[in-house]
Amino acid sequence: MLVECYDERGAEVYEIIIKQIFQDLVLGASVDDLRAYVNPDDPVFVLAIKMRKTSRIIKFDDVAKFTYDKQRDVTSILVEDENYLPNILKRLWMKFSRDEIYQPNRFTLELDGNHLNLESLVIDDPHSNLQRRIYDAIFRILPEGFKNIKDLSTQDIVAVVATDELIKDAWIEKCQEYIDELNKNM
């Protein structure tokens, strides 16, 4: 972790703030490295965070078996991994009303009609979930009032420039330097 600031005490304070927020959100183990630049004289906050690799996305057919009964015109879904049941229900409720989903027991779901196409539906995306949690941390870290935000994130690096003024090219360049630095340290 590197926090750059002309004021050494200010850098220490921001490092403590960042560590505390990461601890509160249980992000420490999910982040490889971090670069921050703070300058109160030129109100800017640049933050780049390198995410650790996550597990692969989980599709519906990875955790459930689908069968279609033509006579009844019903698709039955047998959930094989109970850990994903909340995600499955959440995704199904986004597509169908709760009344359209019949759950005769804990592991079985039924839908009227042929819905075998749901097998490829993404149930869990750990990369997106981690990215969302890191953005949450960033918005807690940013100084209040810094509403002008430029997102320069890449695949595994979440990076932002924030200010309460117009964003300067030099700040974007600083952020890009951090991104390049974090990519080299892979």
Domain boundaries, the chain: 2-53+126-184, 58-123
Q: Answer whether residue 35 shows pLDDT above 70.
A: yes
User: What's the pLDDT score for residue 47?
Assistant: 96
* pLDDT over 70, % of the chain: 99
Separation of alpha carbons 145 and 16, rounded Å: 20
CATH architecture of 58-123: 2-Layer Sandwich (3.30)
Q: Per-residue confidence at 10, pLDDT binned at 50, 70, 90?
A: confident
The pLDDT value given to residue 124: 94
CA gap 68, 24 in Å, rounded: 45
Q: How confident is the model at residue 186 (pLDDT cuts 50, 70, 90)?
A: low
The per-residue b/e assignment along 68-94, b for 16 or more CB within 10 angstroms, e otherwise, is eeeeeebbbbebeeeebbebbeebbee
